[in-house]
């Protein structure tokens, strides 16, 4: 079934990982996709891969003027997907405040700015999807900034759904567990981290960007037309178990060898 019907979509953070998988999935649904990314060259390369009818744009979600230019340039919009984000690791008592703010600025403040300007251009029947995280509901030692940002993003999603609902616009979020992407590559390189994630996932495997993209397509489709304000867990059942000891694995890696 074709759910796109020639609709216009913007994927923020669409040059890699979940954003790129979502861009491909929406393009297959006959959406006209704009891939927007801090990596302007990467966005242009990805748009070229999608082919004619698709485009690219540079955007910095921490710069409101940049986000406004993006959405003003696209114009009337049917779908917006916000995948921008990053994380760091550090204990609260040792983390520089600037490092905490940097994550909040991209993952929460940036999400607010994208929501604000996408919301101004979304047509009735439009859909806005945020990429949240399992860390929005499960705390992880050493990940205070990311956990706080994603928990805030869940509430931002619900408030936006309330405010935009009267215009017929739906706002939802997808909360992935561990997915192999450029964002998680550093964590995955730490011995024991991936195994710990998988051991604490009911379905016994890490996710793929395509797993999340399928959920994004659903949330943008007519099949979810009565669904808004939802944070959809796509994590293989990881929320049913404990969160992996990522900080413990990192600290063991940093211990001097004897």
Q: Which residues are catalytic?
A: 146
Q: What is the pLDDT of residue 187?
A: 87
The pLDDT score that the predictor gives to residue 196 is 95
Q: Could you tell me the pTM of the whole model?
A: 0.94
Question: Within a 10 A sphere around the Cβ of 31, how many other Cβ atoms?
Answer: 27
The pLDDT value given to residue 247: 84
Cα distance between residue 143 and residue 88, in whole Å: 7
Q: Which contiguous run of DSSP H or E holds residue 57?
A: strand 55-58
Res 2: pLDDT: 44
What are 133's two structure tokens? 């995280």
Domains and CATH numbers, the chain: 8-183+208-242 (3.40.50.720)
Q: Which residues in the chain show pLDDT less than 50?
A: 1-2
Residue percentage of the chain with pLDDT more than 90: 89
Please, are residues 207 and 235 in contact by the beta-carbon 8 Å criterion?
Answer: yes
């Amino acid at each position: 079934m074709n759910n796109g019907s020639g609709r216009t979509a913007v994927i923020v953070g669409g040059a890699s990982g979940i954003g790129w998988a979502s861009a491909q999935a929406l393009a297959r649904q006959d959406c006209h996709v704009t891939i927007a990314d801090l990596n302007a060259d990467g966005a242009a390369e990805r748009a070229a891969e999608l082919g004619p009818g698709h485009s690219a744009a540079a955007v910095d979600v921490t710069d409101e003027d940049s986000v406004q230019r993006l959405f003003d340039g696209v114009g009337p919009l049917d779908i917006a997907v916000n995948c921008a984000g990053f994380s760091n690791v550090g204990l609260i008592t040792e983390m520089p405040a600037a490092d905490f703010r940097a994550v909040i600025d991209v993952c929460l403040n940036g999400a607010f700015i994208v929501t604000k300007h996408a919301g101004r251009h979304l047509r009735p029947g439009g859909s806005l999807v945020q990429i949240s995280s399992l860390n929005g509901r499960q705390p992880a030692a050493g990940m205070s900034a990311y956990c706080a940002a994603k928990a805030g993003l869940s509430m931002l999603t619900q408030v936006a759904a309330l405010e935009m609902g009267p215009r017929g616009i739906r706002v939802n979020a997808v909360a992935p567990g561990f997915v192999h992407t450029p964002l998680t590559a550093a964590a995955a390189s730490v011995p024991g981290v991936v195994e710990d994630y998988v051991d604490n996932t009911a379905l016994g495997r890490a996710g793929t960007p395509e797993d999340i993209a399928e959920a994004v397509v659903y949330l943008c489709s007519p099949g979810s037309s009565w669904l808004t304000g939802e944070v959809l867990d796509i994590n293989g059942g990881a929320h049913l178990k404990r969160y992996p000891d990522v900080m413990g694995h990192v600290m063991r890696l940093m211990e001097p060898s004897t």
